[in-house]
Structure formats: C-alpha cells, structure tokens
Structure 1
Amino acid sequence: MAREYSTIARRVPTVETQFRRIATEFPVPESIPILNRLHEYEPQAMRGQPPVIWDRAEGFQVFDRWGNRWLDWSSGVLITNAGHGRREIVEAIKRQADAHLLTSYCFPSESRARLVERLAGLLPEPLKKVFLLTTGSEAVECAIKLCRIHGQSSGRHVIVSFDNAFHGRTLGSQQAGGIPALKAWIGHLDPGFVQVPFPDGFRTEDSSFGGFTRALEQLSVAPQSVAGVILETYQGGSAAFAPVEYMQALRRWCTQNGALLVCDEVQAGFGRTGRLWGFEHYGVVPDLATFGKGISSSLPISAVAGRPEILDLPAAGSMTSTHTGNPLCCEAALASVDILMREDLTENARRVGAILHQQLEALKVRFPQIGAVAGKGLVAGLACVRPGTKEPDGDLAWTVVRRCVESGLLLFSPVGYGGATVKIAPPLVITEEAMREGLSVLADAFAEATGRTV
C-alpha cells in the first residue's frame, strides 16, 4: 500500500530541547514550492519520503534552513556511520577536488590502492581481495556473478537467498531478494534464484538449520546445484539476525557442498552492529562479503571482498565499472574508516546500542502492537503487528514514523513485511543522552498512535 505525506502545511506541537527544535508548521510552508517541483519532475515513487528539506547535517543532527532541527535515527538510511558532515571527510574530499582529479575511470590511482589495501587489512582471512564499485546493488550483482562463474565448471547455477530479504533494486539483486512485490515487474523470473525461510524466530518460528535443508528439498533443489547462498547479515526489512548455530551450520553446509557463502554487509558493516563486521557475531567468515552505505559516511561507494581465488576468476578487463574507485569517493572512505577506528565507534555502537535495545524491550512490554524487537548495536527494528497476532501493521509503523518526524526525530519504515517495521539506525557517534531523548519521543509516538497511555 502506497503511503504519501501531505504537502499541505499544518500546525504541529512546538519542540525545543537540547537536540531537537520544531518551530514551524509541518511541512514548512516555505519548503512546499520545492516539494511541488519534486512532485512535478520526479516519479511518484519518490513521494513516500518525509517532507523534510535538509539544509545541513552535523554528527547525529539534521537542520533545515527555517530553524528546525532533528535528531537523526536514520543515518541517511545507514550511510553516515562516522556521523554527518565530519570535518575530516569534508577536508579529504576538498583536497582531492583541489588536485583536479575527479575521476580516473579504470585507470589506476593511488587513492584506489590505499583504500583496497586498508579494507583488506581490516578484514579477516581469507577475505583479502577487494573490488570497488558504486552501490550496494552493484556489489550484490557482482557477488552473484562470481558465484555463478565459480559454479560453472561443476554445473552449479542456483543462488539460494531468503524470504523477505532486500538486496537492492537492480534485476539480479531483486531476484535474489525475497520480497515478491518488488519483483513482480520482472515477469519472467530466473528459476536459478530460490528463496528459503529466514530463521528470525518470530515470523519463522522454526529457526533450526533443518528448515534450510527441508526448504531446498521442497523446492527440488539438489545441494550439488547450488552455486551460492546469499543473505543479509541481518535482514534490512526487520533488523533480524539468524541464530548463531544456524549460521555456523550454514557455513559447514556451504563448505561441504562446494557452494559459496555470501554475507550482504551493505547495512551491517563498518561498526553498525557493535562489531566491525556483522558476520563476526556468528563466528563465521563468508567466502564473499558485499559492502556499501557506511563505507564512506558520505559519497557513493561499495565493495565486494572475498577469497583471492574467487575474486580472480574473471579475466583481466572483464569486471570493471565506470566509477570503480572514484578518487573522491576513495578519499572519503579512507577518512571515514580512519575516524571509525580512531574513535572506536564500533565500541560506542555496542555500548549505546545496549541501552537502546534494553529500552526497546521495555517499550515492547508497554505496547502489544510491538510484536518483536530485533537488531544489535545501533540498528534495531520494531515489528508492528495487530495485537495478539503476527499480522504486520504497516499503517501503525507509518503513523509512528510520521509522528516522530513531526516531533524532531528522523527514522523510517523500510520495505519488507508490509512496511511494518520501525527502523532505528542513528550515526555511530550518537551519545547516550541523545539516545535517551529519542527513545522518549518514540514512546510518545507509540502512545499517540495506539491511544495507550500505560
């Protein structure tokens, strides 16, 4: 169901706190001409965004030009791990721009060399080769390609993924995705893509690894036909993690059956979950991992990392991309990674994230409309349901998000599960004090949306 924000200004309660300020009508009357131009010249698919015209952003706050200020729990959709507008990142971009080298296409650059070396040095064995790309979807497409190239010699072609997974918006990544509505446009799906239940323990109650093997049997997929198994380290639409035992069994299954294990870390990587890499929570290392979003805390860049013998399968010149290793993006990523490591933002995500999840569990007790709390570190998802059921309530999630935005707290409801998840993902620089203020806003939004005051 499409949900759109109104572009008619209306009065909302005034807010003035340490981290938030709402001093105008919403949307801001002066912003409406901008919104109308967007509506006129952009497709209507873009109209589900909150009508907040960002003017600047710093740390974990976002400002418009009319005096309003938001506490950001979105990170620009999980991008700004090191915080918005970091001086070090801005200066790195400026230095590169001042050098008058804005692109080098597929010609080598020192920036590219420094970044792939830096990333390989942070990744565990055997993930020691890195291919830079532009978007998470592009990285996923590359991982699929590598899985199938690897499997060709032994007749393996099937890509196994999971229900409700989100891997991107391109043809291959959406076929790997597990949200039927997002790939209805394809018409003729590749039968070499299959999905099995994701073991979240809530919507899929059986979270044992036996569910994986049974699902393959029901789909008539022989283990020896599987080229790769790809999954988000946590599901983007819900923030749910698989059980540790399940993932360790999956790692063994892939090794025994000659399939590649791919962890989609586009959202989970770079400290987001309280570990540098999300897959560390499972005690496993995949054969391939995809990264994006938080890699630079700013400009578009992504990466595929993996075992050298896998990354080296395509012949020289056969796997390039126009903006591979763009020097501006590489310098931004290098600066962001330096901040992440120097300030130990992974530890801050773990510490402040523990407070977040403790308080969200308390919120779940107050509101039966919260069916489950998922996530780790500074990512969380609240599954909105109709009380006493597991039926997704996308209208409630949307209403909670809208009320939060009107009160100075930015968050969002991702695709998947009927849009019924309230997603929380602040920059990793957020403080405990700011987190607690945001939690108070969230609680008030649930109370207003559900009519409960307990």
Structure 2
Amino acid sequence: MISRERNLMYSLEPKEVPHINTKYRRIVTKIPVPESLPILERLQKYEPRSMTGQPPIVWDRAEELQVYDKFGNMWLDWSSGVLVTNAGHGRREVRDAIIQQAEHGLLHNYCFPSEVRSLLAEKLVNLAPANMDKAFLLTTGAEATENALKLARTYGHQHGGKEKNVIISFEDAFHGRTLGAQMMGGMPGLKTWITHPDPDIIQLPFPDGYYHENLTFEDFEADLAIRDIDPDHVAGVILETYQGATACFAPQDYIQRLRQWCTQHDALLIFDEVQAGFGRTGKFFGFEHYGVEADLICCGKGISSSLPLSAVLGNSRVMDIYPPGAMTSTHTGNPICCAAALANIDLILNEHLVENAEKVGKVMQAGLYHIQQQKSDIIGIVQGRGLVYGLLIVKPGTKEPDRALATKIVQHAFEQGLLFFSPVGGATVKIAPPLIITEEAVQEGLEVFASAIEQARV
C-alpha cells in the first residue's frame, strides 16, 4: 500500500464535499473518489515520483469543455490538458480523422514521403507569416526548441564564423525539459542537474511588468555590454511569446526594438509559440500581437488538440541549411498525428475559435480583474490575453510568491468541479480553457474560482 500523503501537494484521503450538479460541473462523490485510489496508488508505485503533483482526478474521458471520471463526476476544464486542447477535448472531427488514418493502414513512415504530411506542411506554411516557407514536423515542444537552437547556431556559424555562437534567452522562461531546452530555460531550479552549462547560452531579465516593471530595451543592451558580449557574436534570441510560467507579455515597443536589433546584428529572432499558437491569445500566432516578423517559430500543444506533434516554421534560408538526411526525426510528421492536426486546424478556422478567444477572453479578463480587486492583498498581478491568464498568488502585502495558498486554491476549485493544473512558476494559478468556451461557462467558472480563493484563505 502506498501512502495516501505521497501525492506531494494533494491529500489522497477521501473528503466529503458538497454535491454539485450544473450544466458544466457535477460532483457526486467524496474527493478524491475512494474507488479511484487503487489506480492512483498503482501509478505511484510504478511511475516516477515526478509524475505526481496534479489534482487527484483519474481521467476517464474528456469531451469539449469537460473532463469526466468513471464515478459520475464532471469538471469544467480550465487547463486544456496543459494548453493542448484548443479546439476542445475529444472533438468528433479529430477523432474521425484519427480513425480514418488508422484504418487506412499507415501508422508510421519515418521521413519517407506521405501525402498527409505534405498536406499539413503546406497548411502550416500557408497560415504562417509571409516570410516563412518551410515547416519541419516533430513530436514535442522541447524537440522544436532544440531544433531552433541547432538552426540558429548553424546559421550563425555560416554567417559569422564559430564566434557567432551566443544564444540569448530570458530569465523565468520555460522551453522544455531536454538538455538544450533547459539550458535555454530561465528557471535555475530546473537546471541543477546540468554540470557543464553552455557558457554561450545566457539569460537576461524579462520585462514582465511586475518584478521587472521598469525594464527597457536599453537594459538589454547594457546587460550584454556588462557581460562583454559582442552583439555580432549573437546567433539567435529565443523567447516565449508570453512567459509560460505566468502568462506575461513583453511590452510591444521592447519586442519591436529587439526585432530591429536582431536584424542589425544578423541574429535570428525565435518565438517559442508552443503555448501561444493556434488561437490561444486571440491571434492565430500569439507573437502577432507584437507587430513583428519572426525568423523561426516553435509550435506544439494546440497544433493537434490531442496527439503529440510539434513544428518549427521558418524561411528556407535557415530551414534548408542541412543537407538531405542530416536533420530528421524518427516520428517526424507521424501520419495519425498529422491527420489529427489537419482536422484540428480546420476546426479552429471554421468555428472562428481565434475570434472567440479574443471575444470571450475579454469577459474572462474583466472577471479576473474584478476578483483581483476584491483580493488585491494576495493576488499580486493578473496577466494574459485571449484565453490564457496567470494570477500570481503572493503573501499579503508583499511580492513573495505563496505556493501553499495557490495550491489550496487549485484544490478547493477542484473539489467544486473546476479543474486547473497545479500552480506554475512558484505560485501562479494558470487559466487556459479550451477556445470553444462560452461566456456562460466563463461566468460560472469565475464564480467558482472566487469561492475557491475565499475558502483557501480560511
């Protein structure tokens, strides 16, 4: 028997909670469900401890806005399965595309040509900004950012010699969990295992509007000078369109000046759109809010609303650097994943989900600002755009993150049928529902969220 307290953040001791039955939420059992404990305990026994730490719901199925267990409970999902299900959970069109491709008989083809991969590459290029004409299909967001690192460095070496090797990223950024991605990431606690960090990958402060509220682009240039970095030795600058740990965007002027700087010094400007792409922010690609061109875009998560797929988009002057066979991946453009992505993108476009994210996102934003006004002593800042927001929970009267309180808020919401993933970046409650969400569902979720905050403070 595994200890019921080993979930790290959430107790596995079943608790009586009020029963709920609304259009969007249903709770009819103790939480966690007593009958689900053998499943949770089996996972604890056979998986690494790192896989614990989320609210103890055993997902059975998920449809559109809701996640179900097999014990009669239903949650309004404000996680999108960590920003994946942009078009909603389990959409029939996506499921049908997966089934049809599977029944057609092609499940894998390495990088041998396939029609479905050609169709997806074409669709992505047609949706990308006009300066982009190539799409490289991969599996995970980390694989995409690693590939962008490789391309930027190789491009730099070809255009400025081996000295043009510096990669600039930003503090508090998250670019994935593989070696290169974590060296580009800006969270020191995630990098303690790296014994020989790359000295030419550096992080600079991000203008987050809270901890660095007065940061300007002059500070970017000054930081490089202090580090004695020649701007012409910079191969690329990579940043999340919004910082994934908080949902904060940089000021538009800062990014526009960064674009000019990259052009001046022939450095690639790379946007990590793994969280931001495919309508999440109210634009098809989130970096469009900045009014700049990217040299490379890293995509993932919402690209399929389901199966593992990612992509790097760019111009052939960069994307065609490597000769045939020198830049591939075993599961590049898996046929079933490509079929899912094509169906998903059609849903996003045909159902105007980008526009819905912008419209309904304004209702979400207004409601979250109202909650912040009521709880301004513990909500340090609300940041985001479209249908992604982050509320930083702090200790009263300070800017010090309060992870324990943030976790209690997530737990109380979970017990009332509103599902978040665990706090990120220390103490940020992240809000990211599927883009099909309605104003009615947003309003109900906001009421539950406000109640959860109130209960967590007791």
Q: With the length of structure 2 as denominator, give the TM-score of the two structures.
A: 0.96
Contact residue 246 and residue 391 of structure 2 kept, 8 A: yes
2:74 pairs with 1:69: yes
Verify the 8 A CA contact 1:58 1:86 in the aligned structure 2.
yes
**1:265 partnered with 2:270:** no
Paired position in structure 1 for 2:416? 407
- The correspondence for 2:174, drawn from 166, 185, 193, is 166
CA distance in 2, matches of 1:89, 1:249: 40
SS of 1:237's equivalent in the other structure is coil
Corresponding residue number in structure 2 for 1:344: 352
Q: Which residue in 2 is equivalent to 1:101?
A: 106
Q: Deviations over 1:329-352 (max 9, x none)?
A: 000000000000000000000011
Question: How far apart in 2 are the matches of 1:307 and 1:393?
Answer: 43
Aligned-partner Cα distance in 1 for 2:81–2:101: 23
Cross-structure match for 2:38: 33
Q: Matches of 1:177 and 1:354 in 2, distance apart?
A: 30
Matched, 1:53 2:61: no
Instruction: Please provide the CA RMSD for this pair.
Output: 1.0
Q: Are 2:267 and 1:251 aligned?
A: no
- 4+ residue segments displaced more than 3 Å: none
Name the CA distance, whole Å, in 2 between partners of 1:215 and 1:21: 52
Instruction: Tell me by how many angstroms 1:358 deviates.
Output: 0.7
**1:423 match:** 430
CA contact (8 A) 1:207 1:246 kept: no
1:387 aligns with 2:387: no
CA distance in 2, matches of 1:430, 1:25: 27
Residue number among 425, 438, 448 corresponding to 1:441 in the alignment: 448
**Corresponding position: 1:113 with 2:122:** no
Q: Deviations over 1:291-330 (max 9, x none)?
A: 0000000000000001111000111110100100100000
**Residue 44 of structure 1, aligned match among 37, 49, 56:** 49
- The 1-side partners of 2:103 and 2:340 are apart by 14
Partner of 1:206: 214
Give the corresponding residue for 2:4.
none
**Aligned-pair distance for 1:158?**
0.9
Q: In structure 2, how many angstroms separate the alpha carbons of the residues matched to 1:211 and 1:201?
A: 14
Q: Which amino acid aligns with 2:306?
A: S
Write the distance in 2 (CA, Å) between the matches of 1:261 and 1:379: 23
SS in structure 2 opposite 1:303?
strand
For 2:414 and 2:109, how far apart are their aligned partners in 1? 40
Cα distance in 2, alignment partners of residues 131 and 148 from structure 1: 17
Q: How does 1:115-194 map to 2 (within 5 A)?
A: 115-153=120-158, 154=160, 155-194=163-202
The alignment partner of 2:249 has SS state of: coil
The gaps in structure 2 that reach 5 residues or longer are 1-6
How far apart are the structure 1 equivalents of 2:394 and 2:8? 17
1:376-407: CA deviation from partner (whole Å, max 9, x where unpaired): 00000001111221111111111111111111
Alignment check: 8 A CA contact 1:129 1:311 kept: yes
Q: Which residue of 2 aligns with 1:88?
A: 93
1:369 aligns with 2:348: no
SS of alignment partner, residue 348 of structure 1: helix
Q: How many residues align?
A: 448
Question: Is 1:350–1:377's contact at 8 Å kept on the other side of the alignment?
Answer: yes
| AA of the residue aligned to 1:29 | P
The 8 Å contact of residues 54 and 422 in structure 2, kept in 1 or not, is answered as: no
Q: By how many angstroms is 1:217 displaced? A: 1.9
Question: Residue type matched to 1:121 in 2?
Answer: N
Q: What is the identity, as a one-letter code, of the residue corresponding to 1:274?
A: G
Which of these residues, 215, 222, 237, is aligned with residue 230 of structure 2? 222
1:318 and 2:326 are equivalent in the alignment: yes
1:334 aligns with 2:342: yes
Shift of 1:55: 0.9
Q: Is the CA contact 2:246–2:424 (under 8 Å) kept in the aligned structure 1?
A: no
Matching residue's letter, 1:96: Q
Q: Distance in 2 between matches of 1:95 and 1:17?
A: 35
Name the % identity: 58
| Alpha-carbon distance between aligned partners in 1 of 2:229 and 2:454, rounded to the nearest angstrom | 47
Give CA deviations for 1:120-172 in whole Å, capped at 9, x if unaligned. Answer: 00111212110000000000000000000001131311110000000000000
Question: How far, CA to CA, are the matches of 2:228 and 2:185 in structure 1?
Answer: 20
| 8 Å Cα contact 1:5/1:47 also seen in 2 | no
> How many angstroms does 1:414 deviate by?
4.6
Task: For residue 77 of structure 1, give the secondary structure of its aligned residue in structure 2.
Answer: helix
Between the aligned partners of 1:359 and 1:218, the Cα distance in structure 2 is: 43
AA at the equivalent of 1:8: E
